[in-house]
């Protein structure tokens, strides 16, 4: 069975700015989706901000194994109810690959719980991305490093919880460094953040970047399911025999608080 991937794109810059439209005439999401469609093992669709429910209906998410996310100008326009829906699906096991300015997406901050802030500069400088973890599946097929000729700079400090794994570190010509490839697990869901991808550079046309995203999608595939619940186990269903002791508000007829 194919791995079902939904590529989410904000699709705002591409329609407003000729500079971006020239690089990504069908939108960045279509370029990313095309990269993934080269792998016959994936079933890839796209979704965008302007669609009904941002294209992320209950059904679409139920049929999504891995979601990729690119947003920048319009994070605030993503409805909170949709963010909660995506959040729940990640905890249940859906993989999430967050790209570039998605560091400030509501869903990323919701899952990590921190500021997700960083330092930045738009000067089209050279970025060199180093592999810190050569045996990691997300680094498969890359050499010791690869370069992106022109990119926005993101620098430390990056306001994230300590990652489970750091796969990539970036060197910038202007003198900064950044943890550019990080993994976390939340509930049953795997999360990967990948730094590059500013809208005014052809980054998602570059083969190493496409390879990383493809690797990450495979890595983030669901491997189990964790449906949230907060069950009461009555005393007479406890694994060991016990006799209730003392009074409780619940026994006194109070409804449970949860």
- Considering only residues 181 through 220, tell me which ones interact with a copy of itself, judged by CB under 8 A: 184-189, 198-201, 219
Nearest of 158, 138, 52, 140 to residue 95 by alpha carbon:
138
CA 197 to chain CA centroid, nearest Å: 14
The answer, yes or no, to whether the previous bond of 157 is cis (omega within 30 of 0) is yes
β-pair type (177-186, 189-194)? antiparallel
Residue 253 in contact with a copy of itself, rule: CB under 8 A = no
Q: Do 137 and 219 form a contact (C-beta atoms < 8 A)? A: yes
Name residues contacting a copy of itself, limited to 63-92 (CB under 8 A).
72-73, 91-92
Output the smallest distance, CB 215 to a copy of itself, in A: 10
Question: Contact letters (x/-) for a copy of itself, 25-44, by CB under 8 A?
Answer: --------------------
Output the smallest distance, CB 15 to a copy of itself, in A: 13
Angle CA 249–253–254, to nearest 5 = 55
Closer to a copy of itself by CB, 8 or 168: give it. 168
Output the smallest distance, CB 224 to a copy of itself, in A: 4
Residue 62 in contact with a copy of itself, rule: CB under 8 A = no
Q: What is the gyration radius of the CA atoms in the chain, in angstroms? A: 21
Nearest of 65, 92, 111, 112 to residue 188 by alpha carbon:
92
Output the smallest distance, CB 208 to a copy of itself, in A: 15
Q: Do 104 and 126 form a contact (C-beta atoms < 8 A)? A: no
Closer to a copy of itself by CB, 63 or 117: give it. 117
Query: Per CB under 8 A, which region of 1-9, 38-46, 59-67, 150-158 contacts a copy of itself?
Result: 150-158
Residue 245 in contact with a copy of itself, rule: CB under 8 A = yes
Q: Quick one: which of 58, 157, 205, 207 contacts a copy of itself (CB under 8 A)?
A: 157
Nearest of 102, 108, 71 to residue 86 by alpha carbon:
108
Q: Do 5 and 186 form a contact (C-beta atoms < 8 A)? A: no
Name residues contacting a copy of itself, limited to 130-149 (CB under 8 A).
130-137, 139-140, 145, 147
Output the smallest distance, CB 80 to a copy of itself, in A: 11
DSSP code at position 25: T
Q: At what angle do helices 207-219 and 28-37 cross, to 10 degrees?
A: 70
Q: Quick one: which of 34, 39, 53, 125 contacts a copy of itself (CB under 8 A)?
A: 125
Query: Per CB under 8 A, which region of 28-36, 46-54, 55-63, 177-185 contacts a copy of itself?
Result: 177-185
């Amino acid at each position: 069975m194919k791995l079902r991937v939904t590529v989410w794109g904000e699709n705002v810059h591409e329609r407003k700015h000729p500079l971006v439209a020239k690089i990504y005439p069908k939108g960045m999401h279509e370029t990313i989706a095309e990269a993934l469609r080269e792998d016959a093992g994936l079933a890839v669709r796209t979704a965008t901000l302007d669609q009904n429910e941002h294209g992320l209906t209950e059904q679409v998410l139920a049929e999504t194994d891995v979601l990729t996310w690119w947003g920048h100008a319009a994070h605030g326009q993503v409805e909170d109810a949709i963010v909660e829906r995506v959040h729940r699906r990640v905890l249940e096991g859906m993989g999430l690959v967050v790209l570039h300015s998605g560091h400030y997406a509501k869903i990323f901050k919701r899952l990590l719980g921190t500021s997700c802030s960083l330092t930045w500069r738009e000067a089209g400088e050279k970025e060199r991305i180093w592999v810190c973890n050569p045996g990691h599946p997300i680094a498969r097929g890359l050499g010791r490093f690869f370069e992106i000729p022109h990119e926005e700079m993101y620098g430390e400090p990056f306001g994230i919880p300590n990652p489970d794994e750091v796969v990539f570190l970036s060197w910038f010509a202007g003198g900064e460094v950044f943890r550019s490839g990080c993994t976390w697990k939340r509930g049953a869901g795997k999360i990967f953040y990948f730094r590059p991808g500013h809208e005014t550079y052809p980054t998602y046309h570059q083969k190493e970047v496409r390879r990383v995203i493809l690797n990450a999608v495979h890595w983030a595939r669901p491997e189990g399911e964790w449906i949230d619940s907060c069950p009461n186990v009555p005393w007479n269903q406890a694994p060991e025999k016990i006799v209730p002791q003392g009074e409780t508000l619940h026994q006194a007829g109070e409804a449970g608080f949860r």
